[in-house]
């Protein structure tokens, strides 16, 4: 299982490196506003959003292994486009467009690799392992984000921006090679259902996920800029702590979903995430913001697997790739839209307001999942009596 899921680590290293470096490049080198930083970051997630349905369809029809391999090729394309963007900084608009094109290739890679690996593992090890597979997939993804963010800042500090594009190409090739050495699983053509039917099943839980994921999108796009605006130097540490607490929570509380139920786990997780976002939005001091990042990381850790178990429940194994891609659409949508929206807000009211915006959305998500949980609990009590 881990041999398959570790492939998720590769695109997220690249995503983490870009999150920690691209906003500063857009604003400090190309001299564009915070809105364009949000557009650059959000473009990747919007592309992931658009390509998710095709990723799920390909994983179900072509095979998960082939889907992952094509995602790795797209990573190499991302590296090539990023290289050209950094080489034409004398032409800011052309550099920005090329950088966005690279982000689109990265978004395609994220959706195909993430969906492919999860589908691959579920088919190989069974539906009973769904929550464990999704949880470990998150460990590798956010572990990659954490390491990638640190690597990105280190690269730009000791080398040039262009050097980070080489890292993207090398990681993409390594991922393709490792994928080619693993055994795939047989593709079944029985009982395939249409995408819109699966989408309807996951819609209620996807809306909650989209609202709750805005906090992650804002942290990725604006935490570094928030720290820089105050002259704080701990942005890399804050991002690393965010990722570390995410991973620790995933590992330590992976059994909470089965023990306490997916809805209750999601409600508690979203509540904790809201608390962390509240601390960051206070904008009191560097240490308070770092603590807020830790709390957000720990709280957000179980949101996706907890809601994911509910979303894919009742969907046949041969359609799990489609179900996972449909559910993940809402994660992409929440992150992709929150970046530009928060950037627009930050242009008027400062970076602090971007985190206040994500706090409101996360709080609303907590209320929604508590409402669903209360309704489900009431129905069960009625059936008992």
Q: What is the residue-wise DSSP string for 260-289? A: H-HHHHHHHHHHHHHHHHHHHHHT--HHHH
pLDDT of the residue at 292: 93
pLDDT at 215 over 60: yes
pLDDT of the residue at 384: 52
pLDDT of the residue at 379: 64
pLDDT at 105 over 80: yes
pLDDT of the residue at 272: 95
- Asked if 243 contacts 149 with a C-beta cutoff of 8 angstroms, the reply is yes
pLDDT of the residue at 382: 60
pLDDT at 189 over 60: no
pLDDT at 164 over 70: yes
Stated as kind and residue range, the H or E segment containing 253 is: none
Residue 166: band (very low, low, confident or very high) from pLDDT cuts 50, 70, 90: confident
pLDDT: which is higher, 291 or 121: 291
Query: In 3D, which of 165, 169, 147, 143 has the Cα closest to residue 156?
Result: 165
Residue 267: band (very low, low, confident or very high) from pLDDT cuts 50, 70, 90: very high
- The domains located in the chain, with CATH, are 2-182+194-384 (1.20.1250.20)
pLDDT of the residue at 270: 94
pLDDT at 295 over 90: yes
pLDDT of the residue at 299: 92
pLDDT of the residue at 338: 79
Distance between CA 119 and CA 188 in Å, rounded? 13
Distance between CA 235 and CA 19 in Å, rounded? 11
- Residue 200: CB atoms within 10 Å: 11
Distance between CA 6 and CA 136 in Å, rounded? 9
Span 302-312, mean pLDDT? 85
Share of the chain above pLDDT 70, in %: 92
Span 101-117, mean pLDDT? 90
Give me the long-range contacts of 285-291 (CB less than 8 A, separation at least 24): 286/227, 286/230, 286/232, 286/234, 289/223, 289/226, 289/227, 289/232, 289/238, 290/234, 290/237, 290/238, 290/241
Span 194-222, mean pLDDT? 84
Residue 372: band (very low, low, confident or very high) from pLDDT cuts 50, 70, 90: confident
pLDDT of the residue at 193: 66
Mean pLDDT (the chain) is 83
pLDDT tens-digit readout, 24-59: 778 777 878 777 877 887 788 778 778 877 887 777
pLDDT of the residue at 80: 92
Q: pTM (2 decimals)?
A: 0.73
């Amino acid at each position: 299982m881990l041999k398959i899921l570790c492939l998720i680590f590769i695109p997220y290293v690249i995503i983490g490196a870009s999150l920690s470096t691209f906003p500063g490049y857009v604003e400090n080198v190309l001299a564009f506003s915070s809105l364009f930083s949000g557009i650059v970051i959000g473009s990747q997630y919007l592309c992931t959003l658009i390509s998710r349905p095709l990723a799920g369809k390909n994983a179900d029809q072509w095979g998960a292994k082939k889907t992952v391999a094509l995602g790795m090729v797209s990573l190499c394309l991302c590296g090539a486009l990023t290289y050209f963007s950094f080489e034409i900084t004398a032409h800011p608009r052309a550099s920005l467009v090329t950088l966005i094109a690279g982000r689109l290739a990265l978004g395609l890679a994220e959706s195909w690799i993430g969906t492919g690996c999860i589908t691959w593992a579920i088919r190989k090890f069974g539906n009973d392992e769904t929550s464990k597979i999704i949880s470990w997939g998150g460990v590798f993804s956010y572990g990659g984000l954490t390491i990638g963010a640190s690597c990105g800042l280190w690269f730009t500090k000791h080398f040039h921006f262009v050097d980070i594009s080489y890292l993207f190409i090398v990681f993409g090739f390594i991922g393709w090679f490792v994928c080619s050495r693993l055994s795939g699983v047989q593709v079944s053509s029985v009982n395939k259902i249409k995408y819109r039917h699966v989408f309807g099943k996951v819609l209620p839980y996807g809306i909650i996920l989209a609202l709750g994921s805005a906090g992650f999108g804002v942290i990725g796009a604006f935490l570094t800029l928030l720290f820089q605006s105050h002259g704080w130097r701990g942005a890399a540490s804050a991002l690393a702590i965010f990722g570390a607490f995410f991973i620790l929570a995933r590992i330590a509380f992976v059994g909470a979903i089965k023990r306490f139920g997916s809805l209750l786990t999601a409600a508690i997780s979203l509540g904790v995430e809201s608390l962390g976002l509240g601390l960051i939005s206070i904008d009191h001091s560097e240490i308070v913001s770092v603590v807020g990042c830790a709390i957000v990381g720990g709280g957000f850790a179980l949101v996706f697997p907890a809601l994911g178990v509910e979303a894919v429940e009742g969907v046949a194994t041969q359609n799990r790739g489609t179900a996972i891609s449909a559910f993940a659409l809402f994660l992409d949508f929440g992150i992709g839209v929150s970046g530009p929206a928060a950037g627009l807000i930050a242009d008027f009211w400062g970076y602090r307001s971007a985190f206040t915006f994500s706090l409101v959305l996360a709080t609303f998500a907590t209320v929604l999942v508590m409402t669903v949980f209360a309704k489900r609990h009431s129905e069960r009590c009625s059936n008992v009596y």
